[in-house]
Chain A
Amino acid sequence: MLRVEKLTKNYGKKQVLNSVDLTVYEGEVFGFLGRNGAGKSTFINILTGLAQPTSGSVTFFNNEQLSNDVKKRIGVLPDYSMFYNHLNAIEHLRYFAEISGKKVSKAEAQAILTKVGLKDDSRTKVGKYSFGMKKKLGFAQAVVHDPDFIFLDEPTSGVDAESAIVLQDFIRALQKQGKTIFLTSHNLSEIEKLCSRIAILKDGIITKIGTIHELKTNDTNEMHVRIKHGAISQNAKDAWFDQLSAFAPIVEHKPQFTTVQIHDEQQNAEILRCFHRFDIPVYRFDIEEKSLEEIFIDNKQVG
């Protein structure tokens, strides 16, 4: 659905994007992460026609040109949304939809505004809107023309927790309708909840890409297994310790808790056998994957 090849963007001598390759598949919610200044907004601006690349290509729906027909199939919530203060929300939605070649009735506009939580403010001039309300309107305008591909740049930033849940539910509903969503957010738990795949951009380069599970496990292929077990006799302790640490390095050991590091879930059986061999009862066995936050922080620290 979206294919980006060797996308590079230079501002003078500064390289903001360095030969970025990326593919987003139909129907997925794709998360795009990166710290401030990593090049996320520049990347989205190029994809949506707000900036020109220095080199590289962007293909939407098998079209290399971002023509008007392609634009009609794309919805964009920019990172910073400003509106026409003299228009109300319904007027905005009808105007934007018309530019995209779709006539939207007042009732249809009202229905979308209801979904984003602006039901009671749909006829208020946008000049009186708070930041969060503008964000919701920005969300509504991104979907008003029923696009197939939706860019959402920080959709819930500046929005209260209750409204953020409403918007997240809306994103899920859009995905169920078969829409493809490209989502950026600094809220990593939101990314984790919503996205099927993610990419992490660092200094203009995509350093990691894959499903969240792949990123968590493939990062260093490292998982921690935390085991709650019974007491270990003093005689057997050294032998048990040597056997276990031979195939799963022990990260932490307390009287009835041991944490080991594994690289493959198949090691779990061997760990359990090791406990069984020494007649040590196992009460709990938890595999602790890295959180997205940890992966993101690791990525920031690399280099």
Chain B
Amino acid sequence: MLPIAKQEFWQLTKNIKSIVMVIVLLAASYYFSKNGRVFAEFLGYGSDTDAALYATGLIIIVLFLGPLFVMALSHDVINREVSNRTIRFLLTRTSSNRIIWGKFIGTVAFWVTCIALAVIIIGITSHTFSGVILASVLCLLIIEIAFAVVLSIVIPKPRMTMFLGIVFGIMLPILSNVVEYTDKWWGNFRYISPMHYIQEENWQMIILPIAAIVLIVAATQVFKRGEY
């Protein structure tokens, strides 16, 4: 599992798409953390404002672009191996479980590294740190990564997952906001929106990594039934 996770991690770090996304993430984090005081005064908060304000850039990027970024990078995390037939080298050496979990952990490790870098930048420039924000952001990314893994197992064609991933990445934040703040009947769909569970910044966010584990376990069972 660990070699597969390492390989996935390094492959993501060398990918030009991921480099661009990390630059966007870090630049936004830096910009908002540097100008947090200005935003605080503009919004009428005191100078001892919440650390969250300095992390606005990180939060905006993760909330609104996170699903798109994750899908763009990891929509084909499994099915590219299947379509390239490199999966045969993996499956003849280790179990389906270890392959799927290795891929998942490698992708999570990449995003944890990116978020950690963003948090360090925010910490250095604003001298603030919010563990709750860090946890919320990571929980949200973990469920999105799990969804990307599921998508790439269920749908064998990388082109199809790229299309669906982009649609999902764009629609998820929009639909999540619509269902979260409506009084209409469709507001009940908020409970299937990952964003709902980080709204309160409390224990509810733990539901997301638990759901991610359930998704990965289910996806592994689907993967085991396949023929390669």
Contact = CB atoms under 8 A, between A and B. Distances in A.
B3 interface: yes
B113 interface: no
Interface centre among B3, B93, B228 (most CB of A within 10 A): B93
Contacts of B11: 86
Contacts of B90: 99
Contacts of A51: 227-228
Contacts of B92: 48-50, 71, 74, 76, 78
Interface string B91-109: 1111100100000000000
A83 B90 CA distance: 11
B4 interface: yes
A82 B89 CA distance: 9
Interface in B66-93: 84-86, 88-93
Nearest to A92: B89
A257 interface: no
B91 A50 contact: yes
- Mostly, the B contact residues are helix
Contacts, number: 55
Interface string A85-113: 01000000001101110000000000000
Interface of A: 45, 48-52, 67-68, 71-72, 74, 76, 78, 80-84, 86, 95-96, 98-100, 141, 145
21 contacts: A45-B228, A49-B92, A50-B88, A50-B91, A50-B92, A52-B225, A52-B227, A74-B92, A76-B89, A76-B92, A78-B85, A78-B88, A78-B89, A83-B86, A86-B14, A95-B7, A96-B89, A98-B3, A99-B90, A99-B93, A99-B94
Interface string B111-129: 0000000000000000000
Contacts of B89: 76, 78, 96, 141
Nearest to B15: A86
A50 B3 contact: no
A-B pairs, top 3 by smallest CB distance, nearest first, are A98-B3, A76-B92, A51-B227
Interface in B1-49: 3-4, 7, 11, 14
Contacts of A141: 89
A49 B91 contact: yes
Contacts of A81: 85
Given A51-B227, A51-B228, A68-B98, A96 B86 contact: no
Contact of A71 (B85, B88, B94): B94
Nearest to A100: B93
Contacts of B94: 68, 71, 99-100
Contacts of A49: 91-92
Interface in B143-182: none
B95 A68 contact: yes
Nearest to A48: B92
Contacts of A86: 11, 14
Given A50-B227, A51-B227, A99-B3, A71 B93 contact: yes
B84 A82 contact: yes
Contacts of B86: 82-84
A81 B89 CA distance: 9
